[in-house]
Structure 1
Amino acid sequence: MHFRNSFSILDEHRRTIVLLANYRDSNRCAETLNSLFSQAARPDLLSVSIFDQVYPHERRCMDVYCANVGESTCRRAQVVRRTDMLDAAAATGPTLARHETERGIDLNIDTFALSIDSHLVFTSHWDMELKRQWDGLANPRAILTTYPKSTEHQFNVAKIFTDWIGLGKFTRFCIFVFWGVDLMGLSSSGTTSVMCYARIETDDADAMVQFSATAEMFFIWTPRRIAQFAGGFNFGTAAAALAVRNDPLTPFLFHGEEYSKAARLFTHGYDTYAPTVDIVYHWYESRPVIWERDWPERYVVSQRSKRRVRAMLGLPTSSNDWDPTNVSQFGLGKVRSFDAFVAFSGIDPRGPKLEPENSQQFDSCKYHRHGP
């Protein structure tokens, strides 16, 4: 892998495939595509692989996007690598959907893969910023990932002002350090979101680790090494996305899948990092969800999925009724041990659920870890 110390926008040539799973969210999904392409410095280097889960009477993401911006602008034939659809009634959650988007990756074409939620807003030249940060790590196994801030933080008054008068990031940083500026309380400029909290989700024998909301940490110069992973925003090589794929055999699993993916990445030798600046913002709002129908029956299935995850991590389960299909394909790697991941992350998956509930049961925010 060749890392670039510096590059101009016009000299950049490495392609990124964007993996997007959409569950009955086509309007926001279309807005996400518009933001993705319009804010990119090199939209010509982007392709998308979309997996729509919609009811027959609902429109698909790309169709809404192209209707909004026009067929000539949406460039459907040029940007769509793969687009598949599943009736929402048959949808089984994020792991299958994300696995299906990965089918669009072509290692002969794609250098990078960006997996995202269907409801994001991108910052200007986000594509160059992700590549710049990834290159700066000089680590071919680096994954940039975080839970993005809310779109409420998108319009940063201080940034707009300092950009308008020609001040760069360093000057803006100095203003916040020495003046303590907080213009009208509308922004948390100078901070970045870092995943460093987690908790045991339930008090049963098949409990999952759930990653909690991010901590806002003050300006960091280089991506911070973390132990966590966000399914809805992660950027690394296309080869990494295929080496450690989402497990499609965990239907109706919603929280434990990110802990499992973090552990699998770590044990396969990959390292996760928090970006230094906000790359995207997230629409946190009410939307259709997979548990909107038949949840009593689906809950039983989800419990078996939790047992599959625990078994593949080497954790005890309440029964052996989980699906053993392709365990080696979606299990732990052999580069580093799961015990090493537990030690590095500071998260004990065998721990109890705390009462009263504590989303910061496991807290690594005060550490800047340099892992094994």
Structure 2
Amino acid sequence: MPKFRLLTAAALLLFVANFVFHGRSAPRQVDAPGGAAGRSLVADGEPDVAAFAERVRLALRRFQERRQRQLAFARCNHTYGSRTDGFLPGCPAAGCVAWPSLEAAKAVCSQWSDCGGVTASREGGWFEPRARRVPLPSPAGEVSWVRTTNDEQCYGGLRGPWTQPPSQPNEAALAVSRAYTAVVDAALAETPALTRPRRPPREDGTIFVSIGAHRDPLCGATVRRAFARAARPERLSFGIVQHNCERACLNVTGGFGATRRYPPQLGADEDCVSAFCASPEGEPHCASGRVRILRLGEEEALGPIYSRFLASHLWRGETFFLQIDGHTDFRAGWDSALVQMARRTPSFPRSVLSNYPPEGSPASAAAWPRPTDAEERVERPAGGLCSYSYENVLPAGRLSARLGGCHAAAAGRAKPSPDGAGAASPRRTAFVAAGFLFSHASFLRLAPYDPYLPWIFMGEELAHTFRLWTAGFDIYSPNLDVLRHAYRRENTHKFWENVDRAFATGGIHNALVNLTVQRIQHLLGWPEAAQPSQVAEAWLLHRKDQFGAGAVRSRDAFDAMHGIRHNSTPRRQEPPGWCCF
């Protein structure tokens, strides 16, 4: 009997479509889909961010021998013998999953080197990839097809050298972090334009939308919804850094915790923009170069800050910069509403709009109409981010920070704008959220994204807030919501799971974070890393001044303004009264 539920015919059709699109690897480049075939957007004098990503891939590839062998095996042209009586014992590491057809089961078996063939029920109702290649007699009348490929031929073109990461995650993290830092050092020394953009923003009202998407099934819906509900879609441009799996892919089921499972996936992940760019509504935008995408493999996923650094170099001088995740919903007229709110902030253009948007998915068919005049006249209560709590990266490991709102007792109530007429202004808040940030694009020159913070998730928002605020930018919570964020995504891929698989070392992701977070601790002046001598490795602070505090406000002023008490017992951050109005 099959050990997992049978895959539906619809899933099989989706696999066929994905396999046709992803079956061949394209040269690494930033593409403008829908334009000239394979057109690269590097020719306008911008740094070649695709070449930078390729250098990083090659530097870390030597630590990923197991994954690289999987990919080489999956690229092979596999062959199978004729039908034979009996069953193949054992399950591949990915499990004995039943598929609705022989072709689908063979396609999955051909992705995994520990799969010896396919066994089916006598009636042909299910087909399972199996581990062994020698059939055994089956009392139930099962039949099998043995994979006959010479596996060593699959690895003939695979080239090292390989460096086996130490089995101990902390030692492995040191080796991988050192290699990453070395290649980034070399790339930035050779291409200074990678540190910050050369050009100032144009003042034409255009908006650049930055998306980092890790195997995100909602990325395509996000792009489609943003264009469909924009008041001026012709003013939008997207810069997408996509990390997808194309071969030897695992799926996710069972939610989180002990029930989480990783069965084999049939075919490649869905591309973020290919369907949109082939559609009547999307083709004009893609042909005009408004959609720029850098396609990377899942084994190249190094965390959100790395993706945002890459995406920032797809910016081409647009006036405004919107940072979101690939699972964001949009309100009708969202673009004009954000621009108007930003311009109403007292410190514009040195202002940032940010908060945790309410729950919502771009896959929802529900309408979300434009804000009414009454909505625009209401000043928001404490809807922004005013506090953070300290959390350990590992048990007894380094500290990081998780943002939050105000305590209930400190939060105020919604009230009309002071003069009773006209739109209300956004209110000051303490911290920025990574999933929604809108600003004048001049911040890219004053607080560029730091490429030396790979693997970081917790701590990204506090570090970004510090660098923006000390560079002279004030943070505001929007006075009305025009974006929603899909938070509840249990059966979706998380980049940190992939890091452990890519480097074949359990726990290496947490060890890498425990190492890298020291850069953030030093940046913020936390007592355990305030001095360079307190940081474990010198390379963790490379170019710390170039990607450090801004030149307008001091760290002491930041701590005082944001209620940060480093020397209290216990250490704490108190939500400032000006934020919790």
1:115 equivalent in structure 2: 323
Distance verdict in 2 for CA 1:330–1:55, change over 3 Å: same
Q: How large is the Cα RMSD of the aligned pairs? A: 3.3
* Matched AA of 2:508: E
| Separation (CA, whole Å) in 2 of partners of 1:260 and 1:334 | 15
| Separation (CA, whole Å) in 1 of partners of 2:375 and 2:405 | 27
Distance verdict in 2 for CA 1:368–1:253, change over 3 Å: closer
Instruction: Classify the secondary structure of the residue corresponding to 1:331.
Output: coil
Instruction: Classify the secondary structure of the residue corresponding to 2:383.
Output: strand
| Separation (CA, whole Å) in 1 of partners of 2:376 and 2:448 | 41
Instruction: Classify the secondary structure of the residue corresponding to 1:261.
Output: helix
1:150 equivalent in structure 2: 359
Query: Greater Rg, structure 1 or structure 2?
Result: 2
Distance verdict in 2 for CA 1:342–1:192, change over 3 Å: closer
Offset at 1:292? 1.5
* Matched AA of 1:116: I
Distance verdict in 2 for CA 1:326–1:38, change over 3 Å: same
* Matched AA of 1:90: E
Offset at 1:145? 0.7
Offset at 1:77? 2.1
Q: Structure 1: which 5+ residue stretches go unaligned?
A: 1-11, 174-188, 355-360
1:169 equivalent in structure 2: 374
Of the candidates 502, 513, 519, which is equivalent to residue 308 of structure 1? 519
The correspondence of residues 111-260 of structure 1 with structure 2, limited to 5 A, is 111-138=319-346, 139-151=348-360, 168-169=373-374, 193-202=383-392, 204=396, 206-212=398-404, 218-219=413-414, 221-260=424-463
| Separation (CA, whole Å) in 2 of partners of 1:231 and 1:171 | 24
Q: Are 2:561 and 2:576, in contact at CA under 8 Å, matched by a contact in 1?
A: no
Instruction: Classify the secondary structure of the residue corresponding to 1:208.
Output: strand
With structure 2 as the length reference, what TM-score do the two structures score? 0.51
Whichever structure has more strand as a proportion of its residues is 1
| Separation (CA, whole Å) in 1 of partners of 2:406 and 2:326 | 20
Instruction: Classify the secondary structure of the residue corresponding to 1:47.
Output: strand
Q: Are 2:359 and 2:487, in contact at CA under 8 Å, matched by a contact in 1?
A: yes
With structure 1 as the length reference, what TM-score do the two structures score? 0.78
Instruction: Classify the secondary structure of the residue corresponding to 1:255.
Output: coil
Show CA shifts across 1:234-283 (max 9, x none). Answer: 11111213421222211211111110110111111111100000110111
Offset at 1:156? 10
| Separation (CA, whole Å) in 2 of partners of 1:171 and 1:145 | 17
1:320 equivalent in structure 2: 536
Does structure 1 residue 343 correspond to structure 2 residue 560?
yes
1:16 equivalent in structure 2: 207
Q: Are 2:563 and 2:576, in contact at CA under 8 Å, matched by a contact in 1?
A: no
1:273 equivalent in structure 2: 476
Distance verdict in 2 for CA 1:97–1:353, change over 3 Å: farther
Offset at 1:218? 3.8
Show CA shifts across 1:115-172 (max 9, x none). Answer: 11111111110111111111112421001011101128x9999x98x99xxx741699
Instruction: Classify the secondary structure of the residue corresponding to 1:150.
Output: coil
1:288 equivalent in structure 2: 493
Q: Percent identity?
A: 27
Does structure 1 residue 48 correspond to structure 2 residue 238?
yes
Distance verdict in 2 for CA 1:105–1:150, change over 3 Å: same
Structure with higher RCO (Cα < 8 A, 6+ apart): 1
Distance verdict in 2 for CA 1:72–1:201, change over 3 Å: closer
Q: Are 1:121 and 1:151, in contact at CA under 8 Å, matched by a contact in 2?
A: yes
Instruction: Classify the secondary structure of the residue corresponding to 2:218.
Output: helix
Of the candidates 497, 506, 510, which is equivalent to residue 299 of structure 1? 510
| Separation (CA, whole Å) in 2 of partners of 1:155 and 1:214 | 32
Instruction: Classify the secondary structure of the residue corresponding to 2:455.
Output: coil
Instruction: Classify the secondary structure of the residue corresponding to 2:451.
Output: coil
Q: Are 1:206 and 1:310, in contact at CA under 8 Å, matched by a contact in 2?
A: no
| Separation (CA, whole Å) in 2 of partners of 1:149 and 1:75 | 28
Offset at 1:75? 2.5
Does structure 1 residue 104 correspond to structure 2 residue 104?
no
Instruction: Classify the secondary structure of the residue corresponding to 1:31.
Output: helix
Q: Are 1:144 and 1:272, in contact at CA under 8 Å, matched by a contact in 2?
A: yes
* Matched AA of 1:47: S
Show CA shifts across 1:68-101 (max 9, x none). Answer: x447556312253531122111211000000101
* Matched AA of 2:536: N
Distance verdict in 2 for CA 1:300–1:270, change over 3 Å: same
Does structure 1 residue 367 correspond to structure 2 residue 578?
yes
| Separation (CA, whole Å) in 1 of partners of 2:283 and 2:382 | 33
Distance verdict in 2 for CA 1:347–1:63, change over 3 Å: farther
| Separation (CA, whole Å) in 1 of partners of 2:457 and 2:564 | 18
Q: Are 1:41 and 1:126, in contact at CA under 8 Å, matched by a contact in 2?
A: yes
Distance verdict in 2 for CA 1:274–1:79, change over 3 Å: farther
Instruction: Classify the secondary structure of the residue corresponding to 1:320.
Output: coil
Distance verdict in 2 for CA 1:99–1:369, change over 3 Å: same
2:287 equivalent in structure 1: 77
The correspondence of residues 88-103 of structure 1 with structure 2, limited to 5 A, is 88-103=298-313
Count how many residue pairs are aligned between Structure 1 and Structure 2: 328
Distance verdict in 2 for CA 1:13–1:117, change over 3 Å: same
Offset at 1:192? 7.2
Offset at 1:105? 1.6
| Separation (CA, whole Å) in 2 of partners of 1:94 and 1:365 | 28
Instruction: Classify the secondary structure of the residue corresponding to 2:323.
Output: strand
Q: Are 1:99 and 1:246, in contact at CA under 8 Å, matched by a contact in 2?
A: yes
1:3 equivalent in structure 2: none
Offset at 1:16? 0.8
